[in-house]
Amino acid sequence: MSHVRKPGLRLRAVSLVAACLALAAGTTFAKSGASAPLDGAPDQAAADVLHVARNQLGDPYVWGANGPDAWDCSGLTRLWKTVGGADEMPRVSRDQQAWAVPIPQEQALRGDLVFFGHPVTHVGIVSGGGYMIDAGASKSAVVERRIWTAGVVRYGRVPRPGMPKVKPWTPPPLPSPLPSAPVADSPNAAAAAPRPVAKPVAKPVAKPVAKPVAKPVAKPVAKPVAKPVAKPVAKPVAKPVAKPVAKPVAKPRGATSPGDVLVPLKGLPKTQKAPSSKVALKAATNAKSVANRPVGPQGWNDVSLVQVAWKHAGGGALPSNRDALVAKGKRVALADARVGDLVVYGKPDRPHLGVYLGNGYMIDASNTLGRVVVRPVYAAPSVRLVRLG
């Protein structure tokens, strides 16, 4: 019997090998002629998302990160947008839960989303067999682990062409924010209420009213009326009016503390110049994407904002030391400010970094305001511009 090689089988084998090589190399899986094996996934889109998600196992968890080297939970599930073709998928987990098609646990398939908490605080990708792939803050990495069962757990299917149909079902009611409220309105509680009220009312009214009324009325009325009326009226009116009005008006005008209104920095170009590079422009865009996120130990600081924005723009890793980071760039004149330049405040007791956005504005992780903000570049005793790259 002769062995004949079929061209169709050869092409399929080449495609699968190409897909596996791409995943093994640690690259982001891109749609091409090669498709990931289904491995129990309901369609090719779900298979592609799962293959790429597994390729990120071990990557660090970083709040607000969207890959390719670090992720947060909803940044990882958003592979459905970049790989699975779900172009309308929102960014954060609560919006993703509201956007997805609700499904019961028994209808969950590989590639579906699983949400935790009410309101939602975490999301993962169902990988099958009771497991999920998620970027977990508790694990500080992308992991594959069992789906939790404690608390409120809900499932959702990503809307897409050819999406597996959801059989009719009735979603269970969510927990009430006040589960004990119905107990107070029960018939038993209402019937028992009048009895304890009748006894305490009768006793305290009879005794305290008779004795205290007779004595305090005669003595205290005569003495305190004569003295306090004459003295306190004259003195307190004269002194407090003069002092508090004078001081608060004077302080805000000359104050220079970080909480006061800051003066915009002069010398920046009035006409916006082109960015110094494509990387600098993308870094500024990355920094703007986390505006209003919190600042602090569990959030951003001025150095991490610059590091992450620059790395995901393709500019490479920057030092975590502020002085070393600034030393990698070169100083530029204020009049030559470009989008993506670093705004460096060098006051010894409070050094700080920002990313210039053009037209006199920057974005920075403000310790004073407690969040990442877009605001005018403000004047300070020591401020300069540094250009990376």
Beta strands in the chain (DSSP E): 101-103, 113-116, 122-128, 131-136, 141-146, 153-157, 330-332, 342-345, 352-358, 361-366, 371-376, 383-387
pLDDT of residue 207: 52
Question: Under a CB-based contact definition with an 8 Å cutoff, are residues 198 and 205 in contact?
Answer: no
Is residue 236 in a domain? no
Please tell me whether residue 138 adopts helix, strand or coil conformation. Answer: coil
Domain around 324: 278-387
**Residue type, position 265, single letter:** L
92 bridge partner residues: none
Is residue 303 in a domain? yes
Is residue 43 in a domain? yes
* Residue (of 300, 307, 293, 284) closest to 357 by Cα position: 284
Looking at the fold, whether 15 and 146 belong to one and the same domain comes out as yes
Joined together, the tokens standing for residue 85 give 């073709």
Distance CA(373)–CA(293), nearest Å, equals 8
| Structural domain ending residue among the three candidates 115, 130, 157 | 157
Is residue 231 in a domain? no
From first to last of its 389 residues, the chain has per-residue pLDDT tens of: 434 444 444 444 444 444 444 444 334 444 444 578 888 999 999 999 999 999 999 999 999 999 999 999 999 999 999 999 999 999 999 999 999 999 999 999 999 999 999 999 999 999 999 999 999 888 899 999 999 998 999 999 999 999 999 999 999 888 764 333 333 333 333 333 333 334 444 454 445 445 554 455 455 544 554 555 455 555 554 454 444 444 443 333 333 344 456 899 999 997 777 888 989 988 888 888 778 888 888 788 999 999 988 888 888 889 988 889 999 999 999 999 999 999 999 876 668 999 998 888 999 999 888 999 999 999 988 899 999 98
Distance CA(214)–CA(223), nearest Å, equals 17
Is residue 248 in a domain? no
| Structural domain ending residue among the three candidates 97, 128, 157 | 157
Is residue 223 in a domain? no
Number of separate domains in the chain? 2
The CATH number linked to 282 is 3.90.1720.10
Per-residue CA distances from 235 to 200, 201, 223 (Å): 46, 45, 20
Distance CA(132)–CA(144), nearest Å, equals 6
Length of the chain: 389
User: Quick count: other Cβ atoms within 10 Å of Cβ 304?
Assistant: 17
Question: Under a CB-based contact definition with an 8 Å cutoff, are residues 76 and 135 in contact?
Answer: yes
**Residue 105 Rama label (left phi>0; alpha psi -120 to 50; beta):** alpha
**Residue 28 Rama label (left phi>0; alpha psi -120 to 50; beta):** beta
pTM for this entry: 0.42
Is residue 353 in a domain? yes
Is residue 208 in a domain? no
Distance CA(43)–CA(85), nearest Å, equals 12
| Structural domain ending residue among the three candidates 129, 157, 185 | 157
